Structure formats: structure tokens, C-alpha cells
Amino acid sequence: MPEFVTTEVRGPILIVTMNRPEVYNAVHPPMHMEMDAIWNDFRDNNDLWVAVLTGAGDKAFSAGNDLKYSASGKGGKIPDSGFAGLAKRFDLDKPVIAAVNGFAMGGGFEAALACDIIIGADNSTYALPEVKVGFFAATGGVQRLSRFMSRTKANELLFTGRHMDATEALGHGILNAVVPQAELMDAAMKMAQDIASQSPSSVRATKRVLNDLARAEGLDDSLAYSYEVLSGLMKTEDHREGVTAFVEKRKPKWVNR
């Protein structure tokens, strides 16, 4: 049984909940592996047609990468399918809906961007703040954000790491809808039920073509290149300083090397 993720089945709909509320559902290697296995099972189960991804509690969808766990030196790796088992996955031909409750930061936002539909609570906020801690948005944030909104506006968000509220994210076309937080899961389930009421074979065929389109646009190659660049970045003094400063709760001192 998964330790860091919960699942619930309602008819043909799978609900996946990232369940580490004590760290705002930040994702560490054991959780990545659990999510990879869950998405593999969802992919292979013909009785499940649509999934909803959300986070436990009312404060956070996910804070992204668990930097404190990374800084502890415990190690572990992300599966080949990428952050949260989704970011680099092109073998899933079923829709996934993100129900964003609270904030979606860094990899948490990237996990939402890897979904097919995003519904945000009215108190939800979004950011790719990796540049503030010596990383960059290497798990799909650069590629997907610049596809979903204007390139210059995406550049601003990627270079500064600033937050967007739900209204701004909706205006840029990142969100499909914004609803009161108390109604979030009802709205996500209604969307899932609407999709599940269509021909599942037709929906899966559509998703396969969308996956192929993403590959034709070079998304898979660009994601692979991001990990190559990240590998180099992680050897820099700035990267080490960023993570250390985050853990020590102080402003980093950058040296540009």
C-alpha cells in the first residue's frame, strides 16, 4: 500500500491525493516512485477512464520538490516518468484533471501543468520559484508554461519566480476554471464525469494523438535536455548555496559559479 499517496475509485474515475500535508505535499523520491506505480496501474486498468489529482489538506496542492529531504543526503531518484510520475510520461492515454487546492509551487505546479485539465480553487496560487533556490523549472515548467501562455510572460515568471493568483492564471489560459475552494472537488468530479460519459475509446484515441503531437513538437527531447542542463547546474556553487540557504531560512549569497 502507498504510504505517501492515497487513492479512491468512484466508478470509472480514480482520485489520486498527494498525502504529505505536514510538508505541504512536497514530493520526495519515495513518493515519486509510489506515484509512478499508481499511474502505471491507472494506465493498464481498462475499468478506469479518468483521473483526478489533488493534494491533502486545504493549504497546498504541492510545494514541489522536498528540498529539506534532498539536503539531508538521503538520496533516491525520480522515476523515468518524471516528477510525480507524470512530467515525462507519454504512455498515458487517459485524461488527468488537476484539482489545485491552495498553492502549487515548483514541481507541484509542473505536475499540474502535466495534467490535461486544471481546475483551481479561488485561493490557489502558482509559481515556478526554482531560480530562488539554485534550481530551474527542469521538470516541464519551462516547456509547458511557454506553450500555455505568451512566451514573454512565461519568461517573466520563469526568470523571477513570482507568484500568480488564480485569477491571473485563468486569464492566461492556464486554468480551465476557478471555483470556491469548498466546491473544488465537486467541480473536478463533474468534469471527470462529463469526460467519462463520452466514448472511452474515443477519448483515449484523442489523448494518444495529443501525446504524439507533444512528441512531434519535441517536448520529450526538450525534457531530456532539461535534465542534462540540471545535472550541470547541480554541480555549481550557486546550486549548493541555494539549497543550503533554503534549509537555513536565509537569503542566498550568489557567486555566479
130 as an active site residue: the answer is yes
* Placement of cell 488537476 in the chain: 98
Other beta carbons within 10 angstroms of residue 192's beta carbon come to 25
110 as an active site residue: the answer is yes
Out of 3, 110, 183, 228, which one is annotated catalytic? 110
Dihedral over Cα of 240, 244, 246, 249: its sign: negative
Out of 3, 8, 34, 130, which one is annotated catalytic? 130
Q: Rounded distance, CA 66 to CA 29, Å?
A: 9
Q: Rounded distance, CA 135 to CA 235, Å?
A: 11
Instruction: Give, in order, the Cα–Cα distances in Å from 62 to each of 94, 103, 134, 151, 222.
Output: 22, 7, 19, 25, 24
Active site residues: 110, 130
